[in-house]
Amino acid sequence: GLACYRDLITFVADRPGHDLRYAIDATKIERELGWTPDETFTSGMRKTVAWYLANESWWRQVLDGSYQGERLGLHA
């Protein structure tokens, strides 16, 4: 019966990085709460690329290993 099949199931820890992708469907939150995202995929990508172009010194430090965790935009 069903009990013997349950005995055959072995649960294992998930492997880090095993998720291939996340596909978000925001229709439920839009329907139930009236929420819609401020950005489209295209506008978000444009802003992301613009940010990286404007902050080249930061990402170059990340790539060469010299970045020490300093936050951008914080000036004493």
Residue 8 lies in a domain: no
Residue 17 lies in a domain: no
Overall pTM > 0.75: no
Residue 69 lies in a domain: yes
pLDDT in tens, 29-68: 999 999 998 999 999 999 999 999 999 998 999 999 999 8
Number of domains into which the chain is organized = 1
Residue 9 lies in a domain: no
Q: Residue 76 has what pLDDT?
A: 56
> Tokens in use for 51?
């940010």
Helix axis angle, 41-54 relative to 56-64, nearest 10°? 80
Domain span at 30:
24-76
Residue 33 lies in a domain: yes
